[in-house]
Amino acid sequence: MSLNCDIVKDLVALYHDGVASEASEAEIKAHLKECESCREYYKQYALTTPASLNLNLSGPGNYGELAKHMRIRRLWMLVSALAYVSASICALIMLLMRMKRK
């Protein structure tokens, strides 16, 4: 192992985001292969930062995935807003009809 574990743990964030230099990336990769505790640390880091995983480790594929996700969420918000509005309109109409009948 050429790198110290503390240094690897510092650099894991850069490595994970894909912004480490090629040299340190190679060193970290080699270290993670050999060092159980750093591998575990890296796994935990990757799990706790899904956002940067989506944005950075990334081909256009992952970015498209994120955009799709956001579009679906926006669609859901629109749908639930429409459902709310039409439900209140229905309630209003039923109320008016009942009032007319009397």
Query: Smallest distance, Å, CB 7 to Zn ion?
Result: 9
Residues ≥6 apart with Cβ < 8 Å to 34: 1
Does 5 bind Zn ion (CB under 5 A)? Our answer is yes
Residue 20 vs 38, nearer CB to Zn ion? 38
What phi and psi, each to the nearest 5 degrees, are found at residue 20? -75, 155
CB of 35 to Zn ion, least distance (A): 3
Q: Is 42:32 a contact under the CB 8 Å cutoff?
A: yes
Count CB-CB contacts under 10 A for residue 42: 20
Question: Taking the complex as a whole, how short is the minimal distance between the CB of residue 1 and Zn ion, in angstroms?
Answer: 7
Residue 20 and residue 88: Cα distance in Å, rounded? Answer: 55
- Print the binding letters for residues 29-68 with Zn ion: x by CB under 5 A, - otherwise: ------x--x------------------------------
- CA–CA distance, 54 with 45 (Å, rounded to integer): 14
Beta carbon of residue 5, minimum distance to Zn ion (angstroms, whole number): 3
The binding site for Zn ion (CB under 5 A) comprises 5, 35, 38
